[in-house]
Structure 1
Amino acid sequence: MTSGTTTPARTGRPSKVRVIVAVMLFVTVVINYMDRANLSIAMPALSGDLDLSTAQQGLLLSAFGWTYAAMQLPGGWLVDRVSPRVLYTLCLILWSLATFFMGIVGGFAALVVLRLLVGALEAPAYPINSRVATAWFPERERATAIGFYTSGQFIGLALLTPVLSWLQAAMSWHWVFILTGVVGIVWGAVWYLVYREPRDSRANEAEIDLIRSGGGLVELAEDRPQERPRNTRGDVATVLGRKKLWGIYIGQFCLTSTLWFFLTWFPTYLVDYRGMDYIESGLLASLPYVAAVIGVVSSGLVSDLLLRKGVSLSLARKAPIITGLLLTTLMAGAAFTDSTALVITFLSIAFFGNGLASITWSLVSALAPQRLLGLTGGMFNFIGNLSSIATPIVIGFLVTDESFTPAFGYMTAVTVVGILSYVFLVGRIERVSERQPS
């Protein structure tokens, strides 16, 4: 996985190239979510400069979600056919260019168009992450790896929200987009130069054997795109016709709804409904992200520890998810207090729970038919990220000038649906058959 193609060394001790892969995925996720959240950070100032109504703000905040959701299935199709090295490089550079130009244009319509482009180009990101993790990590390490790189979305937001808020206050909202765009373009080049598939990397045979014997699908990385058959209607019927898969689809929608609240309306809530300035809101907004980081890291470690202790795969994977969703319902407490400290406490506990539940992608690799991993991941991400459309729009309709309480009620109800989905639909964790059940 280092730059250049090399012949794997043949030694007895497994190398640790997969650790570098995890770090690269982590950095990519940081950039991915930085480019999702930059608009919400800029929105209070941007909406004032452009004199945007609440309806226009909701439309602009949801624009990413329209194309992000619409491109999930095409994105999954691409993931099954184009190498992660090439596909991630193209996506990173192109969505970062669109982000960069958001800092240059000055009109509402142009911002909407560019945000639509960012959404479309980020669509393959998490299916790529899942494919890379499935090829590079054995089952007993996979949840830890997924938890580690997923924590990037929260660590990045925890560290960069205050920085970008300060940048906006010191200069202007334009620089929020310019800076984040440049960072993504540079990292796209780094990804292309450094990432390799297992057999083309410096991973030795011992590491590759460890991955394969532990359930890692190294052969995914060895397949040639032109050799892969086209997805048929029957394939689509498979990923849409299984109760277990619908359980994780619905659960992901509910889990991701909380994330999209924080990525869209949270800074506006702090500024407009709690009366904070940009810098204060940036500092306080980082606290729930810190809590989410702790939740994400704990989730993967606890899940894999349970698995190594002999606990069933079903319990080891589902226990952190359901526990996390239960904690997320405490978001409702923010609606019943005027104390800023208590509001941040309730929201931090809720986002900790959201992070604790974030190993849901490990269920995709465990449940999906092996041949349809990309298509299943695309469907999972598509349905899950319909919340990126629904959340900003629904909250925009529910809140009033005086009260944000209906928004917290909506978020709590959605979370309860997610809990029920994992309890009653997912059931035992085992790979779904491609054949229709009799």
Structure 2
Amino acid sequence: MTDVRPHPPTGTTSHQTPRYRWTILGVATFAQAASGFFVQGIGAMGVHLQRDLHLSTAQLGLLLSAAQLVPLVGLLVAGELLDRYNERWVVGAGASVVAVSLGLGSMAPGYASLLLVLLMVGAGYSTVQPGGSKSVASWFAESQRGLAMGIRQAGLPLGGVFAAAVMPALATALGWRATLTLGGLVALAGAAAFMGLYRRPPVHGPPQERAHQDVTLRARLRILREPPMVRIVLSGVCLVSVHSAVGVLTVLYLHEAASIGAGDAALVLVAAQGAGAAGRVCLAAWSDRGGSSGRYGTVMTCMVAVTAGMIALMTPAGHSPVAASLLFLWLGFFGIGWYGPWVAHLAESAPPGQTGFALGLAMAVTQVAIILAPPSLGLLKDATHSFTPVWGALSAMTVLALVITARGGRR
């Protein structure tokens, strides 16, 4: 991918200087954290929601899937918009939709209304993920892009950390509807910050970067057949399923299988989210050392690590409060931290002028797993009355994808 860092002449304004890229990174990270704040906190409120709304584990998982359903198409639309229009308005408008939806949802009680609100939230959030990634990729050179992308992608688990720390207490004190109001205010702050501070880099790529607009959608979808994209999608589907399991099942597993109180289990989820945020930065920075090949090697390392962690949960150690908590910290670091190097590799594998579309397309494909994983894993647990089949199924899927992608890389 072409280095599009700005090289402004003397006398340019502050937002045209290379140092402004760190402001861009900060505001993109904040917008990511703010927009995903409420959804990331649902797992921490699992015990409260099950008690107040009389939900099964599958229904709890369906709440997360509702927020991820619209992005299945919305990410493709967002990717196309990002290649045509300024990221400032595309991302800002999407974050504003998240804020308005949550604000309206706080006045509509009940499980069905909560599902509808999360569908609307997913529509708005569709622009934030690829938009923020493209914003950071356009401001940073390859030598720093992994670190920058890792910091930016840490916004999601960082939002989860604050959500897991605040939302259960708020739900206990004021009810779960109050958490929607808080989520809406946080998302609104993210929208305002991004629209107020984001600017495009002053030096853009050559005119042919926009030539893709004359290419048919069918032709552009062919990038899914390219070996790098196949590896990206397979690894993304597996690891995003593990991420979903950490978000939805950590508190329930520690409460039921390791006999940890709901409050203490929520604190472990907070720590796991924090480990994931650290992982996104550390693993992405590590991937900078080896360029594109180093980035995917880091992703494969994460696949091996999460498999080992889930296998350990199926042993007697998984029922020890201390050991189980440490294992979820491990799964948080690798099962959430993988996204930094993964999305940097994705941005660098995109065809010229199609960065937004490639980001949206790959994220849309992995979105299928984001939608299906929470209710499927919850249903599997409900049907078997055990968490072991859940960890076993995820481990087998990850190993299979690891073998396929490793062979493809050698070819």
Shorter chain as denominator, the TM-score bin is 0.7 to 0.9
Secondary structure of the residue that 1:403 maps to in structure 2? coil
- Assess, with a 3 A threshold, how the Cα gap between structure 1 residues 356 and 162 changes in structure 2: closer, same or farther: closer
C-alpha distance in 1 between matches for 2:238 and 2:273: 18
Match of 1:212 in 2: none
Q: How does 1:386-425 map to 2 (within 5 A)?
A: 386-400=368-382, 402-425=385-408
Q: Distance in 1 between matches of 2:401 and 2:11?
A: 46
Report the CA distance shift for 1:230/1:393 in structure 2 as closer, same or farther (over 3 A): farther
Match of 1:265 among 249, 260, 264: 249
Name the structure 2 match of 1:331. 310
Higher-helix-fraction structure: 2
**1:283 maps onto 2:267 in alignment:** yes
1:113 aligns with 2:102: no
Letter of the structure 1 residue corresponding to residue 224 of structure 2: L
Any idea what SS the aligned residue of 2:314 has? Answer: helix
| Cα offset, 1:104, TM superposition | 2.5
- In the TM superposition, residue 47 of structure 1 has moved relative to its aligned partner by 2.9
How many residues align? The count is: 397
Matched, 1:350 2:325: no
Question: 1:238 is aligned with what amino acid?
Answer: R
CA distance in 1 between partners of 2:135 and 2:355 (Å): 11
Q: Distance in 1 between matches of 2:104 and 2:39?
A: 15
Structure 2 residue ranges without an equivalent (≥5):
1-6
Q: CA deviation at 1:248?
A: 0.7
Alignment of structure 1 residues 27-426 onto 2, 5 Å? 27-199=30-202, 218-219=204-205, 229-304=213-288, 306-307=289-290, 313-329=291-307, 330-337=309-316, 338-358=319-339, 359-400=341-382, 402-426=385-409
For the 8 Å contact 1:21–1:195, the answer to whether it is kept is yes
* Percent sequence identity over aligned pairs: 22
Specify whether residues 163 and 323 from structure 1 end up closer, same or farther in structure 2 by C-alpha distance, changes over 3 A only.
Answer: same
Question: Structure 1 residues 272 and 175 mapped into 2: Cα distance closer, same or farther (>3 Å)?
Answer: farther
* RMSD of aligned residue pairs (Cα, Å): 2.7
| Per-residue deviation, 1:393 | 1.9
Task: Give the SS at the match of 2:205.
Answer: helix
* TM superposition score normalised by structure 1: 0.83
Q: CA–CA distance in 2 between the matches of 1:427 and 1:76?
A: 31
Q: Deviations over 1:33-71 (max 9, x none)?
A: 323213223332223222234443333332122212232
Distance in 2, Cα, partners of 1:392 & 1:129? 25
For 2:92, give the aligned amino acid: T
| Structure-2 separation of matches of 1:276 and 1:104 | 34
In 2: Cα distance, 1:230 partner to 1:262 partner: 42
How far residue 223 of structure 1 moved from its aligned partner, in angstroms, is 9.2
